[in-house]
Amino acid sequence: MSNLHDLPDSPCIGVCSTLFDEVCKGCGRTAVEVSNWVFLSDEEKRAIWDRIVREGTAMRFLRKV
């Protein structure tokens, strides 16, 4: 995957379902990851990005751009 600084600031696409789901259907992050994103280190963010890309099930990866 590309450098963390080449990625958007956050995986969020503005379709949040963490009020009802453990994992957001929009970005693929857990509610804890979403709420703590701004406090995470680059390494922690990279690990989350790697996981959600690998899983590829969130709307973020299913949308046609």
What is the 3-class SS of the chain, one letter each residue? CCCHHHCCCCCCCCCCCCCCCCECCCCCCEHHHHHHHHHCCHHHHHHHHHHHHHHCCCHHHHCCC
The residue with tokens 């080449």 is: 6
- 10 falls in which pLDDT band (50, 70, 90)? very high
What pLDDT, in 10s, does the model give residues 19-62? 888 999 999 999 999 999 999 999 999 999 999 999 999 999 88
- Cβ(26)–Cβ(59) under 8 Å? yes
- 64 falls in which pLDDT band (50, 70, 90)? low
First to last CA, the chain: 19
Q: What is the pLDDT of residue 62?
A: 85
Q: What is the pTM of this model?
A: 0.83
Residue 6 has pLDDT above 90, yes or no: no
